[in-house]
Amino acid sequence: VKPTAPSSGSQRWLLAGSTLALAWLWMMALHELGHVLGAWLTGGTVTRVVLHPLALSRTDVSPNPHPMFVVWAGPIVGIALPLLVWIIMQSLRAPGWFIARFIVGFCLIANGAYLAIGSFEGIGDAGDMLSLGSPQWLLITFGVVAAPCGLWLWHGLGKRFGFGREACDVPLRTTIIVTGLVIATILVEIALTR
């Protein structure tokens, strides 16, 4: 492992902010990918996917022969896929594994809270799940399991981002790559919405 120069305060904050932005953008993209895969696997036709950095994501499917499968595929794939990537990165000791771990934690928290809280107001996917026959207790249970697992994955990651008493030096290359991925994701999403 090559020694790294001490991380500057601005670099730590840039990495933290970029990682949070990347987690938000990729969480929505992975969630919608789940809906798209669910539609394709069940013979549905995806008519529109809304992915834009300034909008909440959405996937429209019509016809949708198995709407329950499609709606649940969003949060399930939206958690399972980043979890798989993180496990592979961790096992290979790939640089940046902590970024993947943060994103998995974010996906768990966001998808879990989305379903649990949404089940009380009947909004978004939670409203669709309820209207299709999923019991509210299932959505709440999903959230009560997923969100704390995400918080557990985040525990102790601050030092990897260069914060705290046991702070690690953050390679400048990691900050540049993560910031570049945020910019690239935003540009791709904007280009796809034209």
Q: What is the pLDDT of residues 85-95, one digit of tens each?
A: 999 999 999 98
Q: How far is CA 169 from CA 155, 160, 186, in A?
A: 18, 8, 28
Give the tens place of pLDDT for each residue, 141-182: 999 999 999 999 999 999 989 898 888 888 899 999 999 999
Confidence bin at 13 (pLDDT 50/70/90): very high
3 state SS of 1 = coil
Q: Which of 28-32, 116-120, 153-157, 170-174 has the lowest mean pLDDT?
A: 170-174
Distance CA(54)–CA(64), nearest Å, equals 27
* Cα–Cα nearest to 169, from 9, 42, 17, 62: 9
* Helices 67-91, 124-131: inter-axial angle, 10-degree rounding: 130
Distance CA(16)–CA(161), nearest Å, equals 7
Give the tens place of pLDDT for each residue, 59-68: 999 999 999 9
Confidence bin at 194 (pLDDT 50/70/90): low
Task: Report residue 193 CA to chain centroid gap.
Answer: 20
- 62 and 45 Cβ atoms separated by less than 8 Å: yes
Residue with structure tokens 């499917």? 61
* Cα–Cα nearest to 27, from 88, 86, 71, 79: 79
Confidence (pTM)? 0.91
Distance CA(183)–CA(55), nearest Å, equals 16
What type of residue sits at position 7? S
What type of residue sits at position 146? A
Confidence bin at 1 (pLDDT 50/70/90): very low
